[in-house]
Amino acid sequence: MCSKRHSSKSDYKKKQLTEAEEATTDLMSSQGVKLVGFWVSPFVLRVEWALKLKGIEYEYIEEDIFNKSPLLLDLNPVHQKVPVMVHDGKVMAESFVILEYIDETWKQTPLLPQDPYERAMARFWAKSVEEKLLDTAWIAMCSQGDEKENALKSAREVLEKIEGELKGKKFFGGEAIGYLDLAMGWISFWLPVWEEVGSMKF
């Protein structure tokens, strides 16, 4: 009985693996753009926004990040996170990496500035806000007392600097929406929610 149970469990695992391998192979031999995402992920939204701005058609595949599919683990074994984009069989992960790939592959509606210094600054701000605001704002929402106050203070400082960057401009990219707007779009999308959940004001 035990051995039967063992064998059926391993048969099931084998079947799951085979199905996952098949799904990965199918995806990698397919043409066009596929995006593996999670509906509320700010990182996935960046990629969706970029594809939409450029007018690129894509197939969206919803992932359950709380019960990761073998497909996701196969496609992104390093980070095991969404977004993952597959373009004509080429697999890539990490939202900023994908944004740059999209911008270089489809030239219409450029996202990054043409000027090398402005491009460097756009990357600097995207990286800095990711490092300095995302975690801090999350900690502020989840913590209490001094920890909350300190996190709130740091988050507000970063937000002030971001506002300084935006002063006098319609978008971070100037007159047209660009890379930094996509990188920071999650702020207006998520911070009001976090404020409510954490009973706080940034």
Ligand X SMILES: N[C@@H](CCC(=O)N[C@@H](CS)C(=O)NCC(=O)O)C(=O)O
Backbone angles phi, psi at 36, to 5 degrees: -95, 120
Among positions 41, 102, 111, 186, the unique one binding ligand X when judged by CB under 6 A:
41
The verdict on 43 binding ligand X (CB under 6 A) reads: yes
Spatial strand order of the sheet with 84-87 comes to 59-62, 33-37, 84-87, 90-93
Pair of tokens at residue 29: 């031999």
Q: In the complex, what is the shortest distance from the CB of residue 83 to ligand X, in angstroms, rounded to a whole number? A: 6
Which of positions 7-36 make contact with ligand X (CB under 6 A)? none
- DSSP class per residue in 169-194: -SBTTBTS--HHHHHHHHHHHHHHHH
Among positions 65, 91, 159, 200, the unique one binding ligand X when judged by CB under 6 A:
65
The verdict on 87 binding ligand X (CB under 6 A) reads: no
The verdict on 69 binding ligand X (CB under 6 A) reads: no
User: In this structure, are residues 33 and 85 in contact, taking their beta carbons and an 8 Å threshold?
Assistant: yes
Is 83 or 178 the residue whose CB approaches ligand X more closely?
Answer: 83
Task: Give the interface with ligand X as residue ranges (CB under 6 A).
Answer: 38, 41, 43, 65, 80-83, 94-96
